[in-house]
Amino acid sequence: MNSNSDTRQGKAGTAGGRAAQSLSGPTFEQIRKFWHPLSVENALAPYQIASSLAYVQVLMHMGELSQDEAARLTEGLRQIYRELLSGTSFLNDNDPDIYTGLARRLSELCGETAGCISRRSSVESLALDVRLWVRDRLVSAFRGLIELRQVLLRLAAEHEEVLMPGHAHLQPTRPQLLSLFFMGSESRLHRDFNRMEELFERLNMLPKSIGGDAQLEREFDYDVLSRLLKFQGTTHVAFAGDGDYLLEFASLAAITGVHLSQLASELLIWSSHEFGYVRLPRAFVFREQRFPARRNPEILEALRSRSALFAGRLAELLSIMKGIPLGYSHEANEALPAVLDVVTNLDFVLELSSVVLPALVFDTKKMSDAAQLDLENRGNVIDYLIEKDFPQEKATAIVEHLLTYTKERRKHLADLAPAEWQEFSPAFETDIYKFLTSYDRQEPYAGASLAEAFRSATKQLDEDNQFANCFSVDVFALVTGED
């Protein structure tokens, strides 16, 4: 699973990863490959320090450690965290995993007192650290989604009165307001936020099966651990091998990726020469040496295609998880590189979208000029005449004369008086207006006015922002001493 560049070389380690012993030749390298790639361990390392510090505080609360011992361990862990922030990892080439590495480094700083850290189960520690990590990344996704939704609503307000042609099957249909395009995109992301909110509320409960100490003579105090690590409470539902929330997170990221891909796809069509409704500034386009005048919207293409990565990683996770029994299995560890890829790219697409969208330049005049109801009504009037037994050729000719007439007078077909219709054919009666499509600016959004829809979307965004701020968790405040 891991590349050679993602493993550490050395001569210590065991298949269990908890005790170091002398090995010869490439044996350690082979064994080391069973553990997480360095990228995953680097992502989990801060959370391992945070959960270990909370564990020390719980042991002190239970009377298993004196205040002096807990203070030494706390300062040792904070020193390791400061080293990590400065770019110095507590892992070295001889550490089989982050848990052995942290215990070793803490022993170097605190002596035998650090032995209590080694009593923790690596399986339960990993389950807790991954839970903390994914919860933190959900909070990051909340912020990214809120920022992007704010951008979309701002664009909707800026283009409130801009008409643009509607399209179905890339064919012109009834015109719509450009602001509705932005509001429709925002409503998708609002649903994405709600789905992630539901996952966060489940994930923010600490299972009473992970992060504890089975070697204690009395029951470990999970309530204190939950409070220290900013969980909402404890639960008996989940267990160390539970990976459902990883599947849910990847699934929700994939849905969000699809929505952003659809948004980018539409903008790419609009940016084409055939449409020309939107363009990217020079700073956002790539120029070819052979064709310096050509502007390639590769950023939008990257945004459109990146959703495939989420789908691929989700399929990978489902394939890994499908055969795992109820108890813990190492296969769950094999899923972590895919989860890291999902986390990294979800942050990427949300940030990229928030940067690109405000930079787009819309040709609102070209949009308005193209948003002619008569493109749709032309066919409607031809159908009307054919139903009156006119040959199609004659009906088409009459309608072309009508369109020339309206263009010269800056009118639309729906604006013509009955007498004007009669000038082109006596077959036109007052029922012709039933065949014509008109646009009502007052009720463009599911029967509601645009202003009502905008107020509703803004209110929902404010509520979601309050939720994100309320449940923003910072377990590292415990590590830095700011809690």
Say what the pLDDT of residue 32 is. 60
Contacts 24+ apart (CB under 8 A), 387-391: 388/427, 390/427
CATH topology of domain 123-366: Fumarase C; Chain A, domain 2 (1.20.200)
For residues 447 and 457, give the distance between their C-alpha atoms in angstroms, rounded to a whole number: 15
For residues 189 and 196, give the distance between their C-alpha atoms in angstroms, rounded to a whole number: 10
- The CATH classification number of 372-435 equals 1.10.40.30
pLDDT tens sequence across 7-28: 343 333 433 444 444 444 555 5
Task: Check: CB of residue 399 under 8 Å from CB of residue 409.
Answer: no
Question: Which tokens is 325 given?
Answer: 């029994």
φ and ψ at residue 333, rounded to 5 degrees: -65, -30
Task: Check: CB of residue 24 under 8 Å from CB of residue 105.
Answer: no
Secondary structure class of 421 (helix, strand, coil): helix
Q: At a CB cut-off of 8 Å and minimum separation 6, what does 153 contact?
A: 182, 183, 186, 454, 457, 458, 461
Q: Hunting for tokens 């968790």 — which residue is that? A: 473
Parts of the chain belonging to CATH 1.20.200.10: 123-366
Q: Which is nearest to 358 in space by CA: 160, 175, 182? A: 182
Parts of the chain belonging to CATH 1.10.275.10: 4-120
Say what the pLDDT of residue 461 is. 94
Say what the pLDDT of residue 339 is. 95
Say what the pLDDT of residue 190 is. 97
Say what the pLDDT of residue 239 is. 62
Q: In the chain, which residues have pLDDT < 70?
A: 1-36, 211-217, 237-241, 287-289, 291-294, 372-373, 375-376, 437-448, 471-475, 479-483
φ and ψ at residue 128, rounded to 5 degrees: -70, -45
Q: Hunting for tokens 């390639």 — which residue is that? A: 296
CATH topology of domain 4-120: Fumarase C; Chain B, domain 1 (1.10.275)
What pTM value is reported for the model? 0.80
Parts of the chain belonging to CATH 1.10.40.30: 372-435
Say what the pLDDT of residue 236 is. 79
Bridge partners of 163? 177
The span from the first CA to the last CA of the chain, in angstroms, equals: 39
Burial 222-251 (b: 16+ CB within 10 A, else e): bebbbbbbbbbebbeebebbbbebbbbbbb
For residues 429 and 421, give the distance between their C-alpha atoms in angstroms, rounded to a whole number: 8
Burial 265-304 (b: 16+ CB within 10 A, else e): bbbbebbeeebebbbbeeebbeeeeeeeeebebebbeebb
The beta strand positions in 188-298, using DSSP E, are 205-207, 233-235, 278-279
